[in-house]
Amino acid sequence: MGLLAELTHRCPLRCPYCSNPLELSRASAELDADTWGRVFHEAAALGVLQLHLSGGEPAVRRDLEAITAHAAAAGLYSNLITSGVMLDGARLRALAAAGLDHVQLSVQDAEATSADRIGGLRGGHERKLRFAAEVRDAGLPLTLNAVVHRQNLDRLDQLIELALQLGAGRLEVAHVQYYGWALRNRDALLPTRAQLDAATAMVEAARGALTGRLVIDYVVPDYYAARPKACMGGWGRSFLAVSPAGRVLPCHAAESLPGLHFPNVRDLSLADIWTGSDAFNRFRGTDWMPEPCRGCDRREQDWGGCRCQAFALTGNAGRTDPACALSPDHHLLDLAVRDAAAATTDFTYREMGRAG
């Protein structure tokens, strides 16, 4: 149902929890607008309804308006996932004229000093606020995406208030997921259990109080879980991603997994890749599962959890996700929580400019 089109890995921010691969695609390798247009039509034929235009920062693409027009021509509902720091009102209006349906704006904190420190861009937070006003003036629906962690979670109430002030219809409170660059910064990012419990209670209270004004999505960190999430709704079940260079992935982080060949849309159709590639079939369904997943009555609910997390923590993508209390590797999460509680490290920033 959903396609994540990662148009570029280039980005002006240096977020320490960046979910892009450790090895980034260069600008010279990026798909052109016409190829993206073909991919969008193939996606629509597969049944995709929602298209997420992402990056990096998609606004670095000078042909973003043409890409957006291709999405509209394919009949896809388009959502621009952006930092907002490279867009102004004129370009936003051009994107809306090209057929853009929705804007998802990321914020690093509710407080400017902290937000700029986390994102690694001085003045970035102020630019985001100006851009949110432009989205409102353009009449486009707005989702605010707040990636939360130890160093901003205590201001969750302010983030909720910020979403209301900016006129967002939806707020995504998304705890950092620890793979890729975020895994390197886990000790500086992982919240305490007390922080998590307070945040969860706050979200539940706000959902009740703000019914009809603000929808709040809440993604919790797996490190305090007893059961894993169904990552992307299950590997190869309802979602796919296309990297800037054209590789087709069951999730945006799947390139971190060794031993998998991800076909390219330059060589094969999206339908052939979705149905026939080893990469999509490797962890699809339940036949691949080891015990205790194979005999679990939740195996068709969580689909074994996250393959990228299993690899990041155990070195084996085929292991049971350690987020599950039944996993023989569940103790690794307890060790990570303990280590993070004792750590005093600060961020190691992502230098995205190396991808440009």
The 3-state secondary structure of the chain, one letter per residue: CEEEEECCCCCCCCCCCCCCCCCCCCHHHCCCHHHHHHHHHHHHHHCCCEEEEECCCHHHCCCHHHHHHHHHHCCCEEEEEECCCCCCHHHHHHHHHHCCCEEEEEECCCCHHHHHHHHCCCCHHHHHHHHHHHHHHHCCCEEEEEEECCCCHHHHHHHHHHHHHCCCCEEEEEECCCCCHHHHCHHHHCCCHHHHHHHHHHHHHHHHHCCCCCEEEEECCHHHCCCCCCHHHCCCCCEEEECCCCEEECCCCHHHCCCCCCCECCCCCHHHHHHHCHHHHCCCCCCCCCCCCCCCCCHHHHCCCCHHHHHHHHCCCCCCCCCCCCCCCCHHHHHHHHHHHHCCCCCCCCCHHHHC
Q: Is 11 annotated as a binding residue?
A: yes
Give the residue numbers of the binding site for [4Fe-4S] cluster: 11, 15, 18
Give the residue numbers of the binding site: 11, 15, 18
